[in-house]
């Protein structure tokens, strides 16, 4: 997942991935460009529930812990 990339590369993004991918936070919220968004799999109901709580939600928002 993109969250794993952030962790593996030791990127210092304050607060990103607070729940470590257990779908309990939405701190891994990403806003993608249209082309990238369309290449990803479907958004599950669980991901959508958390996205609804994310600040600045857009039509191309995803959670970094749910996309590869
Ligand atoms: Fe918490 Fe993605 S890291 S929902």
From the CA of 25, give the closest atom in ligand 1: 1
- Ligand 1: centre distance to CA 23 (Å): 5
Predicted TM-score (pTM) of this structure: 0.91
Give residue 1's pLDDT.
93
Q: Long-range contacts of range 2-8, CB-CB < 8 Å, 24 or more positions apart?
A: 2/28, 2/30, 2/64, 2/65, 2/67, 2/68, 3/28, 3/64, 3/65, 6/64
| Contact present, 4 and 67 (Cβ < 8 Å) | no
Average pLDDT, the chain: 95
- Ligand 1: centre distance to CA 9 (Å): 17
Tell whether ligand 1 has an atom less than 6 A from the beta carbon of residue 53: no
From the CA of 19, give the closest atom in ligand 1: 1
Q: How many Å apart are CA 53 and CA 48, to the nearest integer?
A: 9
């Amino acid at each position: 997942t993109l969250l794993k990339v952030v962790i593996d590369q030791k990127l210092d993004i304050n607060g990103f991935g607070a729940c470590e991918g257990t779908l309990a936070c939405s701190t891994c919220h990403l806003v993608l460009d249209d082309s990238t968004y369309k290449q990803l799999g479907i958004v599950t109901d669980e991901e959508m529930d958390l996205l609804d709580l994310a600040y600045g939600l857009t039509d191309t928002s995803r959670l970094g812990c749910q996309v590869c």
